[in-house]
Amino acid sequence: MAGRAEKDYVGTISYRKGIMDLRQLRYFDAIATERNFTRAAEKLGISQPPLSRQIRALEEELGFELFDRDTRPVRLTEAGRMLQQQGSQILVALEQLKKTMQGLGDIPEKRFAIGVVGSIMHGAMPTIIRRFQAAAPDVEVELIELTTVDQIAALKSGRIDAGLGRLRIADPANRREVLLEEPLVAALPADSPIARRVGPVSLREIAAGTLLAYPSQPRPSYADQVLSLMRDQALTPTKIIEVREVQTALGLVAANVGCAIVPASMQHFNSKDIVYRPLVDEGAVSPVILSQRDADDSVLSLRFREIARSVFALPGA
């Protein structure tokens, strides 16, 4: 058998007859690790004769000798080294699968995760969540604040089931639907000259001072939408300060650091130090975009889509 193993061995283990079972693979791995049949039997909690019989049966099935039994400690043949390399990977994978399956008991049977940008979180999102939970009371709903760019990656990985963002990002794996073209408003320091004047303001007036843009990362972002609106009118802000979150931008507005352009729904962020004014500029809107996996036609995904559509169709959404 040893001579045939040297002649027939070509770098992979092939089956001559029968089926190698997991018990044989575990027995083999124990001997390959201990390099001693007696110690391997003790480790496995069995006597040595049945262990030896199982290994001999395995060698017969594979058509190769796996151990050089004339040495002390026993040594692996070339075929044995190949089986140890590939077999150990199988055993590790099986152990990991076992742990994963055992952990399923800790995971709710139904979960629906939604990625959402911060500016939408303060608008229609609470209504959407309440209606969705009422329609699917047995589902655990998870809300994760993510930029639109991060939502696309999270949909692909399965981390989220739906995303509500503001950027039109083309991706063949995902479908997108514009639910609303939300008007933009200017968030102004309450004691600024612009705020003391009644009525709408223009992007030109905002560009004449300091613009607080968000988010600074990742790009492209909502900040690029606002800057694009200004460039369309050949406007360049005198100064731009980029911050990570809309809440930070509004906090700086309240501190009289500058002005921000925000979606109208952000007017729920009340502060005596901030005044909101509509914009007179045509096209000063930001889309609310629902993104979902293109292949996901599950009942929960369809139900969420229907609810999101209906909520954003309401007056004042």
Supply the CATH number for residue 292's domain.
3.40.190.10
What is the domain range of residue 230?
A: 182-285
User: For the chain, what is the mean pLDDT?
Assistant: 87
Q: How many domains does the chain have?
A: 3
196 in any annotated domain: yes
pLDDT in tens, 108-118: 458 999 999 98
273 with 300, same domain?
Answer: no
Among residues 50, 72, 104, the one where a domain terminates is: 104
pLDDT in tens, 160-206: 999 999 999 989 999 999 999 999 999 999 999 999 988 999 999 99
> pTM for this one?
0.62
Q: Is the peptide bond before 50 cis (omega within 30 degrees of 0)?
A: no
29 in any annotated domain: yes
148 with 186, same domain?
Answer: no
Give, for 188, the enclosing helix (H) or strand (E): strand 174-189
For residues 264 and 239, give the distance between their C-alpha atoms in angstroms, rounded to a whole number.
23
54 in any annotated domain: yes
57 with 129, same domain?
Answer: no
Nearest by Cα to 300 from 114, 123, 165: 114
Helix 22-34 vs helix 78-103: angle between axes, to the nearest 10 degrees? 120
126 in any annotated domain: yes
120 with 78, same domain?
Answer: no
129 with 206, same domain?
Answer: no
Q: How many CA atoms lie within 13 A of 276 on its CB side?
A: 16
80 in any annotated domain: yes
Structure confidence at residue 270 (pLDDT):
81
| CA-angle at 125, arms to 298 and 154, nearest 5° | 50
171 with 233, same domain?
Answer: no
Which pairing describes strands 174-189 and 285-293: parallel, antiparallel, or unpaired? antiparallel
Nearest by Cα to 117 from 143, 156, 153, 155: 143
CB 288 within 8 A of CB 148: no
30 with 74, same domain?
Answer: yes
Give the bridge partners for 241, in sequence order.
Answer: 212
Q: How far is CA 97 from the centre of its chain?
A: 21
228 in any annotated domain: yes
Task: Point out the residues of the chain with pLDDT beneath 70.
Answer: 1-20, 102-109, 316-317
| Helix, strand, coil percent values for the chain (each to nearest 5) | 45, 20, 35
For residues 307 and 241, give the distance between their C-alpha atoms in angstroms, rounded to a whole number.
37
251 with 167, same domain?
Answer: no
Q: What's at 63, amino acid-wise? A: G
204 with 234, same domain?
Answer: yes
Among residues 47, 76, 104, the one where a domain terminates is: 104
175 with 197, same domain?
Answer: no
71 with 219, same domain?
Answer: no
Nearest by Cα to 263 from 287, 299, 228: 287
317 in any annotated domain: no
Give, for 293, the enclosing helix (H) or strand (E): strand 285-293
97 with 230, same domain?
Answer: no
